[in-house]
Structure 1
Amino acid sequence: MTRVISLVPSLTETLLAAGIRPVGRTRYCIHPESTVADIPAVAGTKDWDFDKIRALQPDLLIIDREENAEFMADQTDIPCYVTHITAIADMVTVMQELASLLHAPALAAMAERWRAMNAPECEPWHIDRDLPGLIEWGKKPGISPDKILYLIWQRPWMAVSRQSYIGSVLQRLGVRIAAFDETYPQIDLSVFDPATTLLLFSSEPYPFLSKKGQLASLDFPHAFVDGEQIGWYGIRSLKFLERECARSVDG
């Protein structure tokens, strides 16, 4: 059996769902809590303990180009599988390749589920429909917005562009967030019109939910959304997409 260390939280959860138990993980691999607690933590996402990693004698490291520093793969002779996921379509390939590397039929089955999700988007979201991933509204808009900003950080404000995995998931569900030249741009909220712009505050990585009182003072309509379900590519967002798409069909 392949001894794998996963340094990508969403893929650690996905491997476990497929019946594959990594021998190591990062401190940020937190799901499912009852299982990962027994798996040794060998790193953060960008600070690896190479002695701990080597001691576990892995056959494969799973890393991500955005979450982990790219140069780290060059600092080890352990084979690395490097992901760079920017759209739903990428998950089909990643699951197929990991299924082959790890001899895991369950991952191959997930690839087919991802293939089914890689379909034309639902009808455009409007204010009379449930907002995918909604935790709660802070200030609900009276009309459907012309522009939607998905925010992941404050001080400075940082958004996620439509040309991203998060953008791909939301677009599949009919929610078209704003497009930017950068994937994670710093933005100036003052250039956007509160009358036509909706802010989506992601539950992670920034703790927007703990800032609800402060954010209520903004003139913008806004909502708090589940960043893990929307942004954790792997089994978590796959199940989220399947539920939301089924609900869209039923509705």
Structure 2
Amino acid sequence: MRVVSLVPSLTEAVAATLPGLLVGATDWCTHPAGLDVARVGGSKYPDLDAIRALRPDLVLLNVEENRRADADALAAAGVPTRVTYPRTVAGALAELGELLGELGATVEPDWLTAARKAWAAPPALAPRRAVVPVWRRPWVVLGGDTFAGDVLRRLGVRNVYAEHPERYPRPELDELRGHTPDVVVLPDEPYRFTATDGPDAFAGTPCALVSGRHLTWYGPSLADAPALLAAQLANPVVGPAGP
């Protein structure tokens, strides 16, 4: 089978479990390191001609990572696709097991078994209210029904926007500050928040800088995510006041 992945999480999962199956991946598929496959552009705007030229038996996509128009174009060209859409940790673990089995894995990979065990009893942190920006200029935050939101909930972090009808609301900064969260969770992707870019907007409020890969990816990183994110959430920083 020849597989092209347009989802970094799944690129890592397939490459770690079934070496040699992948023939193409996006420019943003950075794990595992040294992956030697054809690159087919970005997740949002892949090179469809390059994908077709690889003659894949299956293209892996995700509702959030990829555009419906590209999925439709591939299907119209006769290219089989598999679209994923996990919104909870449990859903991601189940979907990964099913997908890898369909791709030919005869036993569950060690990393997936480890991830199931890690999330069966994640570290117990003191409950806290949070806002979770994923972009700046404009501000975009995690809303309801998101995988990352479920990851944080399992670690004791309650997203202020968890009940919002939009999955990625765009509130003004004054609104975010007005919620007076216990912590602002700042991942390093898709927007690369740093110790100053982000905390500067929330002077006086603890800001936890966390790994975006461990917060939003569903693949081998799930095995390490509970412990790593818990440690990062337990060590927030307070940045200087902005202008």
8 Å contact from structure 2 (residues 210, 229) kept in 1: no
Q: Distance in 1 between matches of 2:102 and 2:126?
A: 39
Identify the match of residue 148 of structure 1 among 119, 127, 130.
130
Match of 2:97 in 1: 96
TM-score, normalization by structure 1: 0.77
Cα offsets for 1:171-193 (capped at 9, x unmatched): 12222222122111112231344
Match of 1:190 in 2: 174
Q: Greater relative contact order: 1 or 2 (C-alpha under 8 angstroms, separation 6 or more)?
A: 1
Q: Which residue of 1 aligns with 2:146?
A: 164
TM-score where L is the length of structure 2: 0.80
Q: Which moved more, 1:180-189 or 1:62-71?
A: 180-189
Select 1:177's aligned residue among 159, 163, 181: 159
1:204-219 paired onto structure 2 within 5 Å: 204-209=189-194, 212=196, 215-216=199-200, 218-219=202-203
Tell me if the contact between 2:59 and 2:79 (Cα under 8 Å) persists in the aligned partners: yes
- CA 1:243–1:213 in 2, change beyond 3 Å: closer, same or farther? closer
8 Å Cα contact 1:197-1:220 kept in structure 2: no
Kept in 1: contact 2:7–2:61 (CA 8 A): yes
In the superposition, relative to structure 1, how do residues 16 and 106 fare at CA in structure 2: closer, same or farther (>3 Å)?
farther
Q: Which whole-Å deviations, capped at 9, do the CAs of 1:186-224 have from their partners, x for residues lacking one? A: 122313447544211111111211x71673353241221
Structure 1 spans left out of the alignment, 5+ residues: 127-144, 246-251
Q: How many residue pairs align between the two structures?
A: 223
Aligned to 1:235: 220
Equivalent residue letter for 1:98? L
Alignment partner of 1:169: what SS?
helix
Of all paired residues, the percent bearing the same amino acid is: 32
User: 2: CA distance between counterparts of 1:122 and 1:223?
Assistant: 16
- Aligned-partner Cα distance in 2 for 1:213–1:206: 10
Structure 2: distance between partners of 1:176 and 1:160: 11
Q: Which of residues 187, 210, 219 in structure 2 aligns to 1:202?
A: 187
The aligned residue for residue 74 of structure 1 is: 72
CA distance in 2, matches of 1:213, 1:66: 25
Taking the aligned partners of 1:189 and 1:226, their CA distance within structure 2 comes to 23
User: Counterpart of 1:199 in 2: which secondary structure?
Assistant: strand
TM-fit CA distance, 1:48: 2.4
Offset of 1:90 from its aligned partner?
Answer: 1.4
Quote the offset at 1:93 in angstroms. 2.9
Counterpart secondary structure, 2:13: helix
State the superposition RMSD in angstroms: 2.7
Q: Is 2:17–2:109's contact at 8 Å kept on the other side of the alignment?
A: no
- Cα distance change, pair 48–18 in 1 and its aligned pair in 2 (3 A): same
Whether the 8 Å CA contact 1:204–1:227 is kept in 2: the answer is yes
- 2:30 corresponds to which residue? 30
What amino acid is the match of 1:86? R
> Offset of 1:159 from its aligned partner?
0.7
Deviates more, 1:81-90 or 1:12-21: 12-21
Q: Which runs of 5+ in 2 are unaligned?
A: 231-243
